[in-house]
């Protein structure tokens, strides 16, 4: 992979910039942390060289000065809201986050339940956390939020919220997902700190959009693609342009809310410490791009992958036509089409030649490997074996798994487990390969190539089963599929 981002420079520059922001206030900064803290794979895909745990590693450089506050909405507890990427509810994810932070040496100070109005599920959750020794604070709905500023910034507004006891200069406010109330929690704390004579500060840390690269740069367009379902729109920050005469990029929700935030700051402090939404941010990622062309190309591929995810979802009934339209518009703005994804044409050509589902994989050096459907293997399973043999320099005609060892697995599937499809999925092929590796040096050599698949591009001429998609995800392969079912059966 061609590196386009200097991760070491980012860790150093970002942590230093946050230290400087802390010093601008009374050695107390509430940092609203947007996006994913632990596994930011989107950033690592569009900024090649960005490590998925970069933000966490950056915070670890500040761990002695930082504590974590995790925010969850009572409404999300009530309706059992689920994180789409992990498949777990927000209330369970809070526990996962606490364990993850503590496992890395961070101090988790408390959990805040926002929008609390006596919900029974929130009460039970509060009791559960407190029995686990976790401090819990309650924040309440404010009528007319966010426009009724006189009420918001009063003892009946923010003042009614429980004050969160914190002990360290940097308070990182994070949450399982968007809409949890992170910003409101930070602003409520500013009000309480001011009443206690502490001039605390607020800042926002989100990686995207990157404020100091062009509005229509593919990296920023890829962020819009990632949030197409939310209908977020990148835009020039008009407040920054007016204040400084400098063009910067922000997104619609922060620009729309800034006049309200500014008024709240003025009500608390007498004046707003920031002239624009861009001023509030602390993101240094744009300063660490070292190969702009590499990042542009990686981002264009990300937009195409998001497009395929949307049209596949539309075929399955989980995505909307509006989301597809938004992604098609972004593709036009990035001057790309599906023809710019090389594995797509390779897979479709192989499918046309064989008259059956096929798949293709592009190695990092540009070599293209394909797999076809056979009596023994599905196309994706065949592709996986063909790629491992190519990487291990094993002749194509050599069997790394003997047909004799595949047949018992097929019999198990059809005769005993009731499957109508005798062909092996990718997980079954990997199990068979690992079993063969115990006695076959060739199979062992093929199996050892698995880590080399990370970051490779794959395309299938049909939508894959959840099993195959999961295996490719675990191998960190970047998969797309045509929005076509392999079978036309209704059940």
Report helix, strand or coil for 100: helix
Quote the CA–CA distance of 142 and 146 in Å, as a whole number. 8
Q: Phi and psi at residue 180, in whole multiples of 5°?
A: -85, -20
Nearest to 5 by CA among 43, 62, 59: 43
Give the distance from CA 293 to its chain's centroid: 23
For the chain, helix (H) and strand (E) counts, in that order, are: 20, 14
Residue 164 exposed, middle or buried by CB count within 10 Å (0-12, 13-18, 19+): buried
Instruction: State which residues of the chain have pLDDT below 70.
Output: 84-85, 487-491
Q: What local confidence, expressed as pLDDT, does residue 490 receive?
A: 44
Burial of residue 215 (CB within 10 Å: 0-12, 13-18, 19+) is middle
What interhelical angle do 379-391 and 466-474 show, nearest 10? 20
- Alpha-carbon span 229 to 414, nearest angstrom: 40
Cα 429 from Cα 440, distance rounded (Å): 15
Task: Tell me what pLDDT residue 491 has.
Answer: 47
The answer to whether 163 and 117 are in contact (CB under 8 A) is: no
**Domains and their CATH numbers in the chain:** 7-288 (3.10.630.10), 342-481 (3.40.140.40)
Burial level of 369, CB count in 10 A (0-12/13-18/19+)? buried
pTM value > 0.85: yes
Structure-token pair, residue 201: 């500060």
Q: What is d(CA 427, CA 381) in angstroms, rounded to the nearest whole number?
A: 8
Q: How many CB atoms lie within 10 A of CB 256?
A: 11
- Would you say 137 and 164 are in contact if contact means Cβ atoms under 8 Å apart? yes
Classified as helix, coil or strand, 320 is coil
Which pairs with CB-CB distance under 8 Å and at least 24 residues apart come from 347-351?
Answer: 347/459, 347/460, 347/461, 347/482, 348/461, 348/482, 350/461, 351/461
Positive or negative, the Cα torsion across 286, 209, 242, 32?
Answer: negative
Nearest alpha carbon to residue 80 among 71, 70, 93, 69: 93
Q: How many Cβ atoms sit within 10 Å of the Cβ of residue 15?
A: 16
- Which two three-digit tokens encode residue 121? 């599920």
Cis peptide before 146 (omega within 30 of 0): yes
If you search the block for the tokens 């009614």, which residue do you land on?
160
Q: Is the dihedral of CA 429, 431, 435, 441 positive or negative?
A: positive
CA distances from 435 to 141, 345, 375, 425 (A): 58, 34, 21, 16
DSSP 8-state assignment for residue 203: E
Q: What is the pLDDT of residue 395?
A: 95
Contacts of 22 (CB under 8 A, 6+ apart): 28, 29, 65, 169, 170, 201
Q: How many CB atoms lie within 10 A of CB 117?
A: 11
């Amino acid at each position: 992979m061609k590196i386009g981002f200097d991760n070491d420079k980012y860790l150093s520059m970002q942590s230093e910039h946050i230290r400087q922001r802390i010093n601008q206030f009374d050695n107390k900064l509430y940092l609203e942390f947007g996006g994913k803290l632990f596994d930011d794979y989107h950033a690592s895909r569009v900024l090649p060289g960005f490590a998925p745990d970069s933000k966490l590693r950056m915070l670890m450089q500040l761990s002695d000065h930082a504590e974590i506050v995790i925010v969850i909405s009572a409404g999300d507890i009530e309706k059992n809201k689920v994180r789409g990427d992990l498949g777990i509810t927000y209330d369970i994810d809070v526990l996962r986050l606490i364990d993850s932070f503590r496992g890395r040496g961070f101090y988790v100070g408390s959990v805040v339940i926002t929008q609390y109005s006596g919900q029974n599920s929130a009460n039970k959750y509060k009791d559960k956390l407190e029995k686990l020794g976790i401090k819990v604070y309650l924040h309440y709905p404010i009528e007319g939020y966010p426009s009724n500023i006189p009420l918001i910034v009063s003892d009946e507004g923010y003042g009614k919220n429980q004050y969160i006891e914190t002990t360290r200069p940097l308070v990182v406010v994070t949450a399982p997902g968007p809409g949890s109330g992170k910003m409101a929690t930070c602003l409520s704390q500013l009000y309480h700190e001011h009443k206690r004579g502490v001039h605390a500060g607020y800042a926002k840390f989100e990686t995207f959009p990157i404020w100091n690269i062009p509005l229509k740069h593919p990296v920023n367009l890829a962020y819009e693609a990632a949030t197409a379902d939310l209908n977020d729109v990148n835009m020039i920050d008009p407040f920054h342009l007016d204040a400084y005469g400098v063009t910067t990029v922000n997104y619609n929700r922060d620009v729309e809310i800034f006049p309200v935030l500014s008024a709240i700051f003025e009500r608390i402090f007498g004046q707003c410490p920031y002239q624009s939404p861009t001023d509030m941010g602390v993101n240094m990622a744009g300063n660490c791009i070292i190969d702009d062309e590499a990042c542009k190309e990686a981002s264009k591929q990300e937009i195409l992958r998001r497009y395929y995810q949307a049209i596949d979802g539309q075929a399955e009934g989980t995505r909307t036509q509006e989301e597809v339209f938004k992604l098609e518009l972004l593709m036009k703005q990035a001057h790309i089409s599906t023809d710019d994804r090389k594995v797509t044409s390779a897979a479709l050509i192989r499918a046309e030649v064989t008259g059956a589902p096929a798949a293709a994989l592009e190695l990092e050096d540009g070599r293209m490997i394909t797999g076809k459907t056979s009596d023994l293997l599905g196309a994706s399973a065949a592709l996986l074996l063909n790629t491992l043999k190519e990487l291990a320099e094993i002749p194509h005609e050599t069997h790394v798994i003997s047909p004799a060892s595949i047949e018992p697995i097929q019999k198990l599937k059809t005769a005993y487990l009731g499957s109508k499809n005798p062909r092996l999925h990718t997980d079954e092929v990997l199990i068979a390969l690992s079993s063969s590796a115990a006695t076959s040096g060739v199979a062992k050599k093929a199996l050892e190539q698995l880590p080399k698949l990370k970051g490779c591009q794959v395309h299938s001429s049909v939508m894959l089963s959840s099993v195959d998609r999961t295996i490719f995800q675990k191998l960190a392969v970047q998969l797309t599929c045509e929005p076509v079912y392999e079978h036309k059966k209704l059940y």
